[in-house]
Chain A
Amino acid sequence: MALTSARLLTRTVHEKWICAHSLTLRPLVCINKAAFYGEYRRPGQAQDRTPPWKKIRFSFAKGVQGIRKHFGLLKDEAMERWVGPQGRPLIEHMLEQTRVQWEFRGPESLEQWLVSTDREIGGRSEAYLKLGRNDSACMLYGTLCSTPPRDGETCYSGYCTLRSRQLLSSFDRKKNIDWSSFNTLYIRLRGDGRPWMINIAAETYFSHQKDDLYNYFLYTRGGPYWQDVKIPFSKFFLSSRGRIQDNQHPLWLDKVSTIGFTLGDKADGPFQLEIDFIAVCNDRAHTEEFAYEMYKRNPEV
């Protein structure tokens, strides 16, 4: 059961990544992000043979808007150095034991999240994200349907995913989150008894690692009460394209890019998950560095 949910089809989610390396041209010229990595092409779908220069959409108004936004961000970045590292006072940077990374208060907090389902690969699941009453605690709801698309190649289907957007600093550079002073993930949520999976994507160096995810399971209890979940980062195991890897490695917390929640337990029907906040904390009682063997391949072959 556990491995089953580990093999989630997270590929399409990855392709939503915003990747931007062209520093100067970015604000003025809008290049389709899919031009870099290519979107998921369903079996039977014709290949997009448009030359890349035809995808450039030149817009002067958008360029001015972009320059304004990015130089504003650049100014903020320059100014926050005077406050302290990462824009926070030094005492806070050194001594903080808990940090609330994402909280759902107000409609603008939903804009940091992406919802995707297997509809992208031709499935029939639905998922929606909305804010709870009193503008607190987001609610992810929908229907799961694990009927695979009838395209002759896809064998498995049925997932719904909530994924945080990649944070971007000025000129659309990736901004990663530094969690290296914490060792535990802390989530306050309320589910309906279904098992979910937490996916943490960290910044990688080589492009063949772009599908690497660190996963662990998130079991919900169900019922009307909130549930506090603490998961040490040492428990997260490495997977790539939904397959557990033989060579495991602990998650490097200094460059975390996104976090995601995936449902794929093959139980067709409605689901719901309410998340109050997602935080990290430093559990001083937890000393484990990595929960899986590293002195040999898993399994040894």
Chain B
Amino acid sequence: MNSTRRCFVRFMMSTKALVPGASWPCSNLGPAAQILRTFRVSGTVAKKKSRPVRTGYDEKPERERSLVADDDDDDDPFERAAREAGTKAAFDGLLDVFVRRDVRRRGHVEFIYAALRKMPDFGVEHDIAVYNKLLDVFPKEVFVPRNFIQRMFNHYPRQQECAIQVLEQMENYGLMPNVETKVLLVQIFGEKSHPMRKYQRMMYWFPKFKHANPYPVPLQLPRDPVDLARFSLNRIAHDLDARVAVYQFPSTEVSETGEKVSRPHVVGIQSPEQRRLLAEHNPSRPVFVEGPFPLWLRKTCVHYYVLRADPLPPEEKVEESIDPERSFFYPLELDLDLDRDFGDLDSFDVDEVEEGPVFAMCMAGQADQATLAKWISGLQETNPILGRTPILFRLESGPRELQQATESEPEPSAEEEPLHSQGMKQ
């Protein structure tokens, strides 16, 4: 027995000597302490309970000392701190308290799970530094496998799962780990552990898809509603020639009777092509103001309105021929009698969706007819045909102002949409 133990000590020492960069956190305790440390299980409570997060049900004396408690416990330090000051400093302070409390970091797995759950309450779920600090709670070099058998099996599985959960939460919030994360993971779990693999996978795939979106949305949307409207309208217009016009800036003023009158913003966009289409529109046919249609920019939803007409009936359609003298430099239309066979046909064999033309788009601060009428009157300056054209408002129930929309129900149009179809079908 004694000889085996001595043997083990020698083996431990040689492993330590083999690892060049290994620095033992409490090396002043000597090799005996290290042997003890190898047998120690850091989450003693976790061994007894199957659920890692829940702890302290049946251990009353443990409960007072434990930093982590149940959801419904009022003594949860996270809940208390989130109620008092849900900031990053408070969260960091909690982590510091836990780290300083015990050298052995007893119960750190439960602490990290609890911290992960409470991160959105503190508003730190998008902060990479906080995640690194959270990983720093793990004791270093205790969970690094030291021989091939440990390396072969899942060494300290609960701790590894916990670290994977930290990385997964980072992944869910779209955060890319940095070098500090890597260094921490190597120190805690070693080079080829499961959290390290997870880190490598994230570092491989995240940059691949970082710029995959052809219509990128900035992480921080502009605060100003006019700027936000400008950005959204430019996005949906899909035309570089389109010009944004602000018809009314948001303002609040006190009227003569002493009431506060707030004017919502009205921002519109129109491209030269849309202006041409509107100029060609037959004034006897009505145009429609439709909306609100949703547009999602990451997690925020904005609404826009569209000025459009019904599709032309087939008898009114005119085949337009391009004037051959419109461009002297290159032909706008080529009708060469080439021998093209089936293999040169690159078009798709589908019927076009019949839709009316879109003349302009706008975003407004309020979804009522009076606000949108400002937009139309502003449009009239550049499009005089709107003065002669009947304009119908087809405003469907908006997201908030359900009552107002029913009041401003327009004249019964030819086809009433069912309630669900508040889409932008023509």
Chain A residues within 8 Å of B, Cβ to Cβ:
1-4, 6, 91-92, 94-98, 100, 103, 105, 128, 130, 132-134, 136-137, 139, 141, 156, 186, 190, 192-195, 217, 219-227, 244, 246, 266-267, 269-272, 274, 276-277, 279, 281, 292, 298-301
Contact = CB atoms under 8 A, between A and B. Distances in A.
Contact of A3 (B205, B415, B423): B205
Given A3-B206, A132-B425, A195-B213, A221 B238 contact: yes
B353 to A, nearest CB: 5
B223 interface: no
A25 B414 CA distance: 53
Contact of A141 (B347, B354, B420): B420
B171 A3 contact: yes
Contacts of B208: 2, 292
Given A100-B348, A192-B293, A244-B201, 5 more contacts: A94-B343, A98-B349, A134-B354, A136-B354, A195-B213
B192 interface: yes
B57 interface: no
Given A2-B205, A105-B351, A272-B423, A95 B342 contact: yes
A244 B198 CA distance: 11
B143 to A, nearest CB: 18
Given A195-B213, A299-B204, A141 B350 contact: no
Contacts of A6: 205
B266 to A, nearest CB: 18
A95 B341 contact: yes
Interface of B: 171-172, 174, 192, 197, 200-206, 208-210, 212-215, 217, 232, 235-238, 293-299, 301, 304, 306, 308, 341-351, 353-354, 358, 361, 415, 420-421, 423-426
B201 A225 contact: no
Contacts of B238: 221, 223, 225, 227
Given A136-B353, A224-B308, A299 B295 contact: no
B346 A224 contact: no
B358 A192 contact: no
Nearest to A92: B342
A249 B83 CA distance: 50
Contacts of B205: 2-3, 6, 244, 298
Given A132-B425, A219-B214, A222-B236, A272 B294 contact: yes
Contacts of B172: 4, 156
A96 B342 contact: yes
A274 B423 contact: yes
A98 B209 contact: no
Contact of A193 (B204, B209, B297, B354): B297
Name the residue among A128, A219, A279 with the largest chain B CB count within 10 angstroms. Answer: A219
A133 B415 contact: yes
B296 A128 contact: no
B296 A139 contact: no
B293 A98 contact: no
Contacts of A225: 236, 238, 358
Contacts of A94: 343
A128 B420 CA distance: 10
Chain A to chain B: the 9 pairs with minimum beta-carbon distance, closest first: A223-B236, A2-B209, A95-B343, A299-B200, A1-B174, A193-B296, A299-B204, A222-B295, A95-B342
A223 B304 CA distance: 8
Name the residue among A1, A96, A97, A217 with the largest chain B CB count within 10 angstroms. Answer: A1
23 contacts: A1-B209, A2-B209, A3-B205, A4-B172, A96-B345, A98-B348, A103-B350, A137-B353, A137-B425, A193-B294, A194-B296, A221-B236, A222-B296, A223-B295, A224-B293, A224-B424, A244-B201, A267-B299, A271-B294, A274-B424, A276-B350, A299-B200, A301-B197
A226 B425 CA distance: 10
A219 B215 contact: yes
A276 B237 contact: no
B426 A193 contact: no
A128 B419 CA distance: 13
B357 to A, nearest CB: 10
Given A133-B426, A190-B424, A192-B295, A246 B212 contact: no
B346 A98 contact: yes
A223 to B, nearest CB: 3
B298 A267 contact: yes
Contacts of A95: 341-343
A276 B353 contact: yes
Nearest to A137: B353
B268 to A, nearest CB: 14
A226 B346 CA distance: 19
A83 to B, nearest CB: 16
B173 to A, nearest CB: 8
Name the residue among B308, B343, B425 with the largest chain A CB count within 10 angstroms. Answer: B425
